[in-house]
Amino acid sequence: MLELAQRHGIAVAAVDAWQTLAVVRQTRGEVASALEARRSAAQTANAASLKTREATLTINVGFALTTVGAGDEARKAIESGIALGQAVGSPGVERHGKMILLCWAATFGADPSLEGPLTETRASADAAVAGSWVPHDRAALGVLFYRGMEKLRTPGQEQDARTLLRLAAQGYRATKMLDVLPVARGLWAEAERRCGDAERARELASEAATLLDEGSPSLLNEAPVFLALHDACVDLGRLSEAKDAIARGVPRLVTRTRGLGGTPYARTFLTELAPNAGLLAAAEAYGLVPEEITRAIADDVRAAGLVLPI
Protein backbone atom coordinates (compact mmCIF):
# COMPACT_ATOMS: atom_id res chain seq x y z
CA MET A 1 0.00 0.00 0.00
CA LEU A 2 2.81 2.40 0.86
CA GLU A 3 4.65 1.65 -2.37
CA LEU A 4 1.50 2.21 -4.44
CA ALA A 5 0.64 5.40 -2.58
CA GLN A 6 4.12 6.82 -3.09
CA ARG A 7 4.25 5.75 -6.74
CA HIS A 8 0.92 7.41 -7.56
CA GLY A 9 1.22 10.37 -5.18
CA ILE A 10 -1.79 9.43 -3.01
CA ALA A 11 -0.89 11.16 0.24
CA VAL A 12 -3.91 10.01 2.24
CA ALA A 13 -3.15 6.36 1.49
CA ALA A 14 0.52 6.87 2.34
CA VAL A 15 -0.45 8.34 5.72
CA ASP A 16 -2.67 5.34 6.44
CA ALA A 17 0.08 2.93 5.38
CA TRP A 18 2.69 4.56 7.63
CA GLN A 19 0.28 4.59 10.57
CA THR A 20 -0.59 0.93 10.08
CA LEU A 21 3.08 0.01 9.86
CA ALA A 22 3.67 1.92 13.10
CA VAL A 23 1.05 -0.09 14.97
CA VAL A 24 2.25 -3.43 13.59
CA ARG A 25 5.87 -2.64 14.43
CA GLN A 26 4.98 -1.44 17.94
CA THR A 27 3.11 -4.65 18.75
CA ARG A 28 6.09 -6.67 17.50
CA GLY A 29 8.43 -4.78 19.82
CA GLU A 30 10.16 -2.99 16.93
CA VAL A 31 9.92 0.23 18.90
CA ALA A 32 12.37 2.48 17.06
CA SER A 33 11.01 1.42 13.69
CA ALA A 34 7.47 2.13 14.92
CA LEU A 35 8.52 5.59 16.08
CA GLU A 36 10.02 6.37 12.68
CA ALA A 37 6.86 5.17 10.95
CA ARG A 38 4.78 7.50 13.11
CA ARG A 39 7.10 10.39 12.27
CA SER A 40 6.84 9.53 8.58
CA ALA A 41 3.05 9.51 8.81
CA ALA A 42 3.04 12.98 10.39
CA GLN A 43 5.56 14.32 7.86
CA THR A 44 3.54 12.93 4.95
CA ALA A 45 0.38 14.57 6.28
CA ASN A 46 2.24 17.85 6.71
CA ALA A 47 3.58 17.77 3.15
CA ALA A 48 0.05 17.19 1.84
CA SER A 49 -1.44 19.95 4.03
CA LEU A 50 -3.65 17.41 5.80
CA LYS A 51 -3.64 19.50 8.97
CA THR A 52 -6.17 17.55 11.01
CA ARG A 53 -4.39 14.28 10.26
CA GLU A 54 -1.04 15.90 10.95
CA ALA A 55 -2.26 17.03 14.37
CA THR A 56 -3.43 13.56 15.35
CA LEU A 57 -0.30 11.90 14.02
CA THR A 58 1.98 14.37 15.83
CA ILE A 59 0.19 13.48 19.05
CA ASN A 60 0.78 9.81 18.23
CA VAL A 61 4.50 10.53 17.85
CA GLY A 62 4.29 11.86 21.40
CA PHE A 63 2.64 8.63 22.51
CA ALA A 64 5.42 6.57 20.91
CA LEU A 65 8.06 8.72 22.61
CA THR A 66 6.25 8.25 25.92
CA THR A 67 6.48 4.47 25.54
CA VAL A 68 10.28 4.69 25.28
CA GLY A 69 10.67 7.01 28.29
CA ALA A 70 11.58 10.16 26.35
CA GLY A 71 9.50 12.48 28.51
CA ASP A 72 10.56 15.91 27.28
CA GLU A 73 10.37 15.02 23.58
CA ALA A 74 7.05 13.29 24.09
CA ARG A 75 5.41 16.23 25.81
CA LYS A 76 6.56 18.66 23.13
CA ALA A 77 5.08 16.47 20.39
CA ILE A 78 1.79 15.96 22.23
CA GLU A 79 1.34 19.65 22.99
CA SER A 80 2.32 20.60 19.45
CA GLY A 81 -0.34 18.25 18.06
CA ILE A 82 -2.99 19.57 20.43
CA ALA A 83 -2.14 23.16 19.47
CA LEU A 84 -2.47 22.29 15.79
CA GLY A 85 -5.78 20.56 16.44
CA GLN A 86 -7.07 23.66 18.22
CA ALA A 87 -5.84 25.88 15.38
CA VAL A 88 -7.83 23.91 12.80
CA GLY A 89 -10.86 23.72 15.08
CA SER A 90 -10.98 19.96 15.65
CA PRO A 91 -12.52 18.96 19.02
CA GLY A 92 -11.88 15.29 18.20
CA VAL A 93 -8.14 15.86 17.82
CA GLU A 94 -8.05 17.90 21.02
CA ARG A 95 -9.88 15.13 22.88
CA HIS A 96 -7.44 12.54 21.58
CA GLY A 97 -4.50 14.76 22.46
CA LYS A 98 -5.62 15.27 26.03
CA MET A 99 -6.07 11.53 26.45
CA ILE A 100 -2.46 11.05 25.36
CA LEU A 101 -1.35 13.96 27.55
CA LEU A 102 -3.00 12.14 30.47
CA CYS A 103 -0.99 9.07 29.40
CA TRP A 104 2.14 11.23 29.68
CA ALA A 105 1.17 12.42 33.18
CA ALA A 106 0.38 8.87 34.30
CA THR A 107 3.75 7.69 33.00
CA PHE A 108 6.06 10.43 34.27
CA GLY A 109 4.16 11.86 37.24
CA ALA A 110 2.03 14.84 38.10
CA ASP A 111 3.05 18.25 36.76
CA PRO A 112 1.28 21.35 38.16
CA SER A 113 1.34 22.98 34.73
CA LEU A 114 -1.03 20.27 33.45
CA GLU A 115 -3.73 20.86 36.04
CA GLY A 116 -5.55 23.33 33.78
CA PRO A 117 -5.27 21.46 30.47
CA LEU A 118 -6.30 18.14 32.04
CA THR A 119 -9.01 19.35 34.44
CA GLU A 120 -11.95 18.37 32.22
CA THR A 121 -10.35 15.11 31.08
CA ARG A 122 -9.65 14.00 34.63
CA ALA A 123 -13.11 15.06 35.76
CA SER A 124 -14.76 12.90 33.10
CA ALA A 125 -12.84 9.87 34.38
CA ASP A 126 -13.54 10.68 38.03
CA ALA A 127 -17.26 10.87 37.25
CA ALA A 128 -17.08 7.26 36.08
CA VAL A 129 -15.94 6.25 39.57
CA ALA A 130 -19.27 7.57 40.85
CA GLY A 131 -21.14 5.53 38.26
CA SER A 132 -21.63 7.83 35.28
CA TRP A 133 -21.97 6.14 31.89
CA VAL A 134 -18.87 5.96 29.71
CA PRO A 135 -19.02 5.38 25.94
CA HIS A 136 -16.95 2.43 24.78
CA ASP A 137 -14.78 4.24 22.27
CA ARG A 138 -11.00 4.19 22.35
CA ALA A 139 -10.56 7.74 23.60
CA ALA A 140 -13.09 7.42 26.44
CA LEU A 141 -11.70 4.08 27.60
CA GLY A 142 -8.17 5.45 27.27
CA VAL A 143 -9.05 8.31 29.62
CA LEU A 144 -10.30 5.79 32.21
CA PHE A 145 -7.20 3.67 31.77
CA TYR A 146 -4.65 6.47 32.07
CA ARG A 147 -6.52 8.15 34.92
CA GLY A 148 -6.46 4.78 36.67
CA MET A 149 -2.72 4.58 36.08
CA GLU A 150 -2.31 8.08 37.44
CA LYS A 151 -4.29 7.29 40.59
CA LEU A 152 -2.41 4.03 41.06
CA ARG A 153 0.80 5.97 41.60
CA THR A 154 -0.92 8.31 44.10
CA PRO A 155 -1.05 7.12 47.75
CA GLY A 156 -4.60 6.84 49.03
CA GLN A 157 -6.16 6.59 45.55
CA GLU A 158 -5.95 2.81 45.16
CA GLN A 159 -9.70 2.19 45.40
CA ASP A 160 -10.50 4.68 42.65
CA ALA A 161 -7.63 3.30 40.57
CA ARG A 162 -9.09 -0.20 40.89
CA THR A 163 -12.53 0.98 39.72
CA LEU A 164 -11.16 2.88 36.73
CA LEU A 165 -8.78 0.15 35.62
CA ARG A 166 -11.51 -2.48 35.98
CA LEU A 167 -13.90 -0.40 33.85
CA ALA A 168 -11.20 0.19 31.23
CA ALA A 169 -10.15 -3.46 31.05
CA GLN A 170 -13.74 -4.67 30.82
CA GLY A 171 -14.45 -2.09 28.12
CA TYR A 172 -11.39 -3.13 26.13
CA ARG A 173 -12.48 -6.76 26.28
CA ALA A 174 -16.10 -6.00 25.33
CA THR A 175 -15.00 -3.96 22.30
CA LYS A 176 -12.18 -6.37 21.37
CA MET A 177 -9.41 -3.77 21.72
CA LEU A 178 -7.04 -6.67 22.28
CA ASP A 179 -3.82 -4.69 21.71
CA VAL A 180 -4.28 -2.91 25.05
CA LEU A 181 -6.24 -5.56 26.98
CA PRO A 182 -3.36 -7.57 28.55
CA VAL A 183 -1.63 -4.54 30.06
CA ALA A 184 -4.96 -3.09 31.21
CA ARG A 185 -5.68 -6.33 33.06
CA GLY A 186 -2.17 -6.34 34.48
CA LEU A 187 -2.61 -2.87 35.93
CA TRP A 188 -6.06 -3.79 37.23
CA ALA A 189 -4.35 -6.73 38.94
CA GLU A 190 -1.83 -4.42 40.60
CA ALA A 191 -4.66 -2.19 41.83
CA GLU A 192 -6.39 -5.24 43.34
CA ARG A 193 -3.16 -6.21 45.09
CA ARG A 194 -2.73 -2.74 46.56
CA CYS A 195 -6.33 -2.90 47.78
CA GLY A 196 -5.46 -6.08 49.68
CA ASP A 197 -6.73 -8.82 47.36
CA ALA A 198 -3.55 -10.60 46.31
CA GLU A 199 -5.39 -13.73 45.17
CA ARG A 200 -7.60 -11.78 42.77
CA ALA A 201 -4.51 -9.88 41.61
CA ARG A 202 -2.72 -13.15 40.86
CA GLU A 203 -5.74 -14.43 38.92
CA LEU A 204 -6.01 -11.30 36.77
CA ALA A 205 -2.27 -11.02 36.14
CA SER A 206 -2.04 -14.73 35.29
CA GLU A 207 -4.80 -14.30 32.70
CA ALA A 208 -3.02 -11.28 31.23
CA ALA A 209 0.32 -13.08 31.09
CA THR A 210 -1.32 -16.06 29.41
CA LEU A 211 -2.82 -13.78 26.75
CA LEU A 212 0.69 -12.51 25.99
CA ASP A 213 2.25 -15.97 26.06
CA GLU A 214 -0.40 -17.19 23.62
CA GLY A 215 0.52 -14.44 21.15
CA SER A 216 -1.81 -11.57 21.92
CA PRO A 217 -0.24 -8.40 20.46
CA SER A 218 0.46 -5.51 22.81
CA LEU A 219 0.71 -1.89 21.81
CA LEU A 220 1.94 -1.15 25.34
CA ASN A 221 5.02 -2.28 27.22
CA GLU A 222 4.29 -5.66 28.79
CA ALA A 223 6.34 -5.22 31.98
CA PRO A 224 3.35 -4.19 34.19
CA VAL A 225 1.71 -7.58 33.62
CA PHE A 226 4.65 -9.67 34.79
CA LEU A 227 5.57 -7.29 37.59
CA ALA A 228 2.00 -7.41 38.94
CA LEU A 229 2.04 -11.21 38.75
CA HIS A 230 5.37 -11.31 40.55
CA ASP A 231 4.29 -9.01 43.37
CA ALA A 232 0.98 -10.83 43.87
CA CYS A 233 2.82 -14.15 44.10
CA VAL A 234 5.28 -12.68 46.61
CA ASP A 235 2.38 -11.45 48.76
CA LEU A 236 0.90 -14.95 48.67
CA GLY A 237 4.22 -16.61 49.53
CA ARG A 238 4.43 -18.34 46.16
CA LEU A 239 8.04 -17.45 45.61
CA SER A 240 8.82 -19.94 42.87
CA GLU A 241 5.91 -18.57 40.81
CA ALA A 242 7.12 -15.04 41.52
CA LYS A 243 10.55 -15.77 40.07
CA ASP A 244 8.94 -17.50 37.09
CA ALA A 245 6.86 -14.39 36.40
CA ILE A 246 10.00 -12.30 36.06
CA ALA A 247 11.62 -14.96 33.87
CA ARG A 248 8.57 -14.79 31.57
CA GLY A 249 8.71 -11.00 31.42
CA VAL A 250 12.42 -10.51 30.73
CA PRO A 251 12.36 -11.77 27.10
CA ARG A 252 9.72 -9.18 26.23
CA LEU A 253 11.85 -6.47 27.79
CA VAL A 254 14.79 -7.75 25.72
CA THR A 255 12.72 -7.65 22.51
CA ARG A 256 11.74 -4.01 22.98
CA THR A 257 15.23 -3.02 24.11
CA ARG A 258 16.64 -4.71 21.02
CA GLY A 259 14.12 -2.75 18.99
CA LEU A 260 15.73 0.44 20.28
CA GLY A 261 19.21 -0.51 19.14
CA GLY A 262 21.08 2.35 17.52
CA THR A 263 18.85 4.98 19.12
CA PRO A 264 19.40 7.17 22.21
CA TYR A 265 16.40 5.61 23.97
CA ALA A 266 17.50 2.21 25.32
CA ARG A 267 18.58 3.54 28.71
CA THR A 268 15.52 5.78 29.17
CA PHE A 269 13.27 2.85 28.23
CA LEU A 270 14.82 0.72 30.96
CA THR A 271 15.25 3.37 33.64
CA GLU A 272 12.66 6.14 33.13
CA LEU A 273 9.61 3.88 32.85
CA ALA A 274 8.79 2.64 36.35
CA PRO A 275 7.43 -0.82 35.40
CA ASN A 276 10.46 -1.56 33.22
CA ALA A 277 12.83 -0.42 35.97
CA GLY A 278 10.90 -2.53 38.48
CA LEU A 279 11.04 -5.63 36.31
CA LEU A 280 14.74 -5.06 35.71
CA ALA A 281 15.42 -4.65 39.45
CA ALA A 282 13.57 -7.89 40.20
CA ALA A 283 15.45 -9.67 37.42
CA GLU A 284 18.73 -8.45 38.91
CA ALA A 285 17.75 -9.78 42.34
CA TYR A 286 17.08 -13.21 40.82
CA GLY A 287 20.18 -13.16 38.64
CA LEU A 288 18.06 -13.10 35.49
CA VAL A 289 19.35 -9.99 33.74
CA PRO A 290 20.62 -11.07 30.30
CA GLU A 291 23.91 -9.72 29.02
CA GLU A 292 22.09 -8.05 26.13
CA ILE A 293 20.25 -5.73 28.56
CA THR A 294 23.43 -4.86 30.47
CA ARG A 295 25.26 -4.16 27.22
CA ALA A 296 22.41 -2.00 25.90
CA ILE A 297 22.48 0.20 28.99
CA ALA A 298 26.27 0.49 28.88
CA ASP A 299 26.29 1.37 25.17
CA ASP A 300 23.59 3.99 25.65
CA VAL A 301 25.39 5.55 28.61
CA ARG A 302 28.66 5.75 26.68
CA ALA A 303 26.89 7.23 23.64
CA ALA A 304 25.43 9.93 25.87
CA GLY A 305 28.84 10.75 27.33
CA LEU A 306 27.80 9.73 30.83
CA VAL A 307 29.75 7.83 33.48
CA LEU A 308 28.60 4.24 34.00
CA PRO A 309 28.22 3.49 37.72
CA ILE A 310 30.37 0.66 39.03
Tell me, letter by letter, the H, E, C secondary structure of the chain.
CHHHHHHHCCHHHHHHHHHHHHHHHHHHCCHHHHHHHHHHHHHHHHHCCCHHHHHHHHHHHHHHHHHCCCHHHHHHHHHHHHHHHHHCCCHHHHHHHHHHHHHHHHHHCCCHHHCCCCHHHHHHHHHHHCCCCCCCCHHHHHHHHHHHHHHHCCCCCHHHHHHHHHHHHHHHHHCCCCCCHHHHHHHHHHHHHHCCCHHHHHHHHHHHHHHHHCCCCCCCCCHHHHHHHHHHHHHCCCHHHHHHHHHHHHHHHHHHHHCCCCCCCHHHHHHCCHHHHHHHHHHHHHCCCCHHHHHHHHHHHHHCCCCCCC
Q: Is pLDDT above 70 for 307? A: no
Task: Tell me whether residue 185 is in a domain.
Answer: yes
Task: Tell me whether residue 143 is in a domain.
Answer: no
Domain termination site, one of 56, 83, 109:
109
Q: Which of the two residues, 295 and 232, has the higher pLDDT score?
A: 232
Query: What is the model's pLDDT at position 310?
Result: 29
Is residue 309 very low, low, confident or very high in pLDDT (cuts 50, 70, 90)? very low
Task: Tell me whether residue 117 is in a domain.
Answer: no
Domain termination site, one of 109, 131, 153:
109
Pair (183, 299) in one structural domain: yes
Q: Is pLDDT above 60 for 301? A: no
Q: Which of the two residues, 76 and 309, has the higher pLDDT score?
A: 76
Question: Tens of pLDDT along 185-202?
Answer: 999 999 999 999 999 999
Pair (9, 92) in one structural domain: yes
Task: Tell me whether residue 91 is in a domain.
Answer: yes
Pair (187, 308) in one structural domain: yes
Quote the mean pLDDT of the chain.
Answer: 94
Q: Is pLDDT above 50 for 33? A: yes
Pair (94, 196) in one structural domain: no
CATH number at residue 230: 1.25.40
Task: Tell me whether residue 127 is in a domain.
Answer: no
Percent pLDDT > 90 in the chain is 88
Task: Tell me whether residue 164 is in a domain.
Answer: no
Pair (82, 199) in one structural domain: no
| Mean local confidence (pLDDT), 86-93 | 97
Q: Which of the two residues, 305 and 92, has the higher pLDDT score?
A: 92
Domain termination site, one of 109, 143, 159:
109
| Mean local confidence (pLDDT), 13-25 | 96
Query: What is the model's pLDDT at position 306?
Result: 46
How many folded domains does the chain comprise? 2
Task: Tell me whether residue 126 is in a domain.
Answer: no
Is residue 70 very low, low, confident or very high in pLDDT (cuts 50, 70, 90)? very high
Percent pLDDT > 70 in the chain is 96
Question: Tens of pLDDT along 225-269?
Answer: 999 999 999 999 999 999 999 999 999 999 999 999 889 999 999
Pair (296, 182) in one structural domain: yes
CATH number at residue 20: 1.25.40.10
Task: Tell me whether residue 142 is in a domain.
Answer: no
Q: Is pLDDT above 70 for 303? A: no
225: containing domain = 178-310
